[in-house]
């Protein structure tokens, strides 16, 4: 199959002879072709393919030409290609810009529907029957390349910069909001460089729908207003734990709020109404207060047949907060533990099996002039309306003994962002660069890590959907490149590289492909 695709790709390259093209069978795009994503209806996937200087000119389906005809004269038109997929249905909407000798453009549209024999030309009425509802186009505020239907107006005056982003009403005279063209709106709105908070929760995106975006910047003040028709919500750029973050300063109005917002506000109000919690010092095991809000690192893994979670402040990184309260905001009585004020550092481990949840709270304390490590254990049955209880001696000894029997704990790792428990770096080998990772011997706070942790599943960010088409920015997935490694040391090598002959000091490293 791979051999067939290589031959087919060679054929297409020859057929297109230097022109930019897309191949929708092999999911391959020429270098320089941009892809924007979106959604329509409830589960429909939308993509826009386009390019400028030189333009996108050809749509292929494997060796079959979809558009234009084979007798096309290169350099006489450019294309905006929209792909719609929902269930087993697939359709194309192609904007065709004819380029005249005076460089002006005249636009028209053609439509195609996927049949068992490939793409078939259809009329507008059939296309409208297949593709219903509004088309929501995604936007990443940190990216310079945007959908060609976006209209961006920026104004600079007296040190104030304002930007209004809207959907164009027409392109080259072709209206985007008439009966034929459907109504376009902004879809998933994200900022891939700055985290977004609402209430105490970190969000993956600002909203999933909007009709305009207003951005205001002056001196140290910056905010954005997202509007959906007459309703709006505002986010201010603020600082949390020394890092920039977007934070909602107004609750969205009922018709604008979405399911994710409703839960956020419900939990925020519940947390605010619970005793006298200092939110920025509260670790919520249900994570309605996001660990990132405190600057807490979260590490996941396996402990025997149970899941394992470690919450702590990153090793070697100065923390702006302390953990003073441990709660589970989804419980009736949410407080699990209150941490002694003499505590310098708190580490929380959670072990969840099919029947029970154990919480281990390790505190490094300074008592008088002495440093002391104090460990408390909590237990809860995995049933509704049950609370944690503190495990007294002599039961602690038995539980700890059972836990040690299941050591080492396997921790999962994304090789693009390893946890602070791990030393990592690069090694040059021939013409290849290898990455090495090893569990640290101790955490710098008096805890020995040797023998406690090994690597479990190893992940890598998957940037490509299929072929060479990139994922939508906020949907980059993690793919597993190795399962249950069970070693404290690994080397990651490229797949196309033969297994290296390692020097003696690296012989105990496990080699995996990426």
Express each pLDDT in 241-266 by its tens digit: 888 999 998 776 666 666 777 788 88
- At 75, which helix (H) or strand (E)? none
Whether 4 has a pLDDT exceeding 50, the answer reads no
* Cα separation, 465 vs 199, whole angstroms: 33
* Cα separation, 514 vs 187, whole angstroms: 33
430: left (phi over 0), alpha (psi -120 to 50) or beta: left
The answer to whether the beta carbons of residues 364 and 371 sit under 8 Å apart is yes
Residue 200: per-residue pLDDT = 92
Residue 20: per-residue pLDDT = 92
Whether 316 has a pLDDT exceeding 60, the answer reads yes
Whether 158 has a pLDDT exceeding 50, the answer reads yes
Residue 256: per-residue pLDDT = 62
Tokens, residue 446? 């008096």
The answer to whether the beta carbons of residues 112 and 24 sit under 8 Å apart is no
Residue 444: per-residue pLDDT = 79
Top-confidence range, 265-274, 352-361, 492-501: 352-361
Express each pLDDT in 398-435 by its tens digit: 888 888 899 999 999 999 999 999 999 998 888 888 99
**CA atoms 197, 202, 206, 207: torsion sign:** negative
* Cα separation, 211 vs 294, whole angstroms: 33
Domain residue ranges of the chain, discontinuous segments joined by +: 2-133, 143-270, 274-406, 411-513
Residue 1: per-residue pLDDT = 39
Nearest CA among 230, 239, 164 for reference residue 194: 239
Q: Which has the minimum average pLDDT: 38-47, 100-109, 337-346?
A: 100-109
Whether 16 has a pLDDT exceeding 60, the answer reads no
How do strand 464-466 and strand 135-140 relate by DSSP bridges? unpaired
Token pair 């154990």 is found at 358
Whether 116 has a pLDDT exceeding 60, the answer reads yes
Residue 294's CB is within 10 A of a number of other CB atoms, namely 24
- % the chain with pLDDT above 70: 91
Residue 475: per-residue pLDDT = 66
Mean pLDDT of the chain: 88
Residue 351: per-residue pLDDT = 96
Tokens, residue 163? 């930007």
Whether 6 has a pLDDT exceeding 70, the answer reads no
**Once rounded to an integer, what is the mean pLDDT over residues 480-505?**
90
Length of the chain (residues): 514
Whether 223 has a pLDDT exceeding 70, the answer reads yes
Residue 262: per-residue pLDDT = 78
The answer to whether the beta carbons of residues 167 and 151 sit under 8 Å apart is yes
**CA atoms 111, 12, 23, 171: torsion sign:** negative
Residue 171: per-residue pLDDT = 77
Residue 2: per-residue pLDDT = 41
Express each pLDDT in 123-141 by its tens digit: 999 998 998 889 999 999 9
* Cα separation, 416 vs 485, whole angstroms: 17
The answer to whether the beta carbons of residues 241 and 320 sit under 8 Å apart is yes
Nearest CA among 371, 373, 372, 375 for reference residue 393: 375
Whether 10 has a pLDDT exceeding 60, the answer reads no
Residue 243: per-residue pLDDT = 86
Express each pLDDT in 453-470 by its tens digit: 999 999 998 877 778 888
Confidence of residue 445 (pLDDT cuts 50, 70, 90): confident
Whether the upstream peptide bond of residue 364 has omega within 30° of 0, thus cis, is no
Q: Is 271 exposed, middle or buried (0-12, 13-18, 19+ CB in 10 A)?
A: buried
297 or 100, greater pLDDT: 297
Q: What is the pTM of this model?
A: 0.87
Question: DSSP label at 281?
Answer: G
């Amino acid at each position: 199959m791979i051999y067939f695709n290589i031959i087919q790709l060679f054929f297409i390259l020859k057929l297109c002879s230097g022109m930019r093209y897309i191949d929708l069978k092999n999911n391959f795009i020429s270098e320089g072709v941009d892809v924007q994503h979106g959604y329509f209806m409830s589960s429909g996937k939308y993509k826009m393919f386009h390019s400028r200087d030189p333009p996108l000119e050809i749509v292929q389906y494997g060796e079959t030409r979809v558009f234009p005809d084979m007798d096309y004269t290169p350099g006489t038109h450019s294309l905006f290609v929209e792909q719609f997929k929902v269930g087993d249905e697939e359709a194309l909407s192609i904007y065709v810009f004819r380029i005249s000798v005076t460089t002006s453009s005249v636009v028209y549209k053609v439509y195609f529907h996927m049949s068992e024999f490939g793409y078939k030309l259809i009329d507008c009425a059939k296309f409208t029957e297949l593709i219903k509802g509004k088309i929501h186009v995604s936007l990443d505020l940190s990216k310079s390349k945007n959908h060609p239907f976006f209209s961006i107006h920026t104004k600079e005056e007296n040190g104030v910069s304002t930007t209004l982003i809207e959907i164009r009403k027409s392109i080259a005279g072709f209206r985007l909001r008439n009966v034929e063209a459907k109504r376009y709106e902004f879809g998933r709105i994200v900022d891939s460089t700055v985290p977004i908070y609402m209430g105490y929760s970190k969000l993956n995106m600002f909203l999933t729908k909007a009709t305009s975006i207003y951005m205001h910047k002056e001196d140290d003040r910056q905010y954005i207003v997202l509007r959906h028709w007459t309703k709006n919500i505002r986010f201010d750029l603020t600082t949390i734990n020394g890092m920039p973050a977007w934070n909602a300063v107004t609750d969205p109005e009922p018709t604008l709020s979405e399911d994710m917002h409703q839960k956020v506000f419900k939990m925020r109000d519940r947390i605010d109404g619970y005793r006298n919690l200092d939110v920025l010092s509260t670790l919520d095991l249900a994570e309605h207060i996001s660990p990132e809000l405190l600057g807490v690192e979260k590490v996941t893994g396996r402990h025997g047949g149970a899941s394992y979670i470690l919450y702590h402040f990153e090793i070697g990184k100065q923390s702006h907060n302390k953990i003073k309260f441990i709660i589970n905001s989804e419980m009736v009585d949410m407080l699990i533990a209150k941490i002694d004020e003499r505590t310098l550092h708190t580490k929380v481990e959670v072990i969840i099996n099919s029947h029970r949840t154990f919480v281990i709270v390790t505190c490094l304390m300074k008592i008088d002039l002495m440093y002391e490590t104090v460990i408390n254990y909590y237990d809860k049955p995995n049933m509704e309306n049950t609370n944690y209880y503190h495990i007294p001696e002599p039961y602690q000894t038995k539980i700890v003994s059972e836990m040690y029997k299941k050591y080492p704990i396997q921790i999962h790792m994304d090789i693009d962002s390893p946890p602070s428990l791990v030393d990592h770096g690069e090694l040059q080998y021939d013409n290849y660069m290898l990455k090495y990772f090893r569990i640290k011997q101790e955490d710098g706070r008096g805890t020995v890590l040797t023998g406690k942790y090994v690597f479990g599943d190893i992940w890598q960010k998957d940037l490509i959907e299929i072929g060479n088409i990139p994922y939508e920015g906020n949907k980059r997935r993690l793919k597993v490149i190795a399962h249950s490694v069970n070693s404290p040391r690994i080397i990651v090598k490229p797949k196309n590289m033969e297994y290296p002959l390692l020097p003696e000091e690296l012989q105990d490293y496990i080699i995996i492909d990426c």
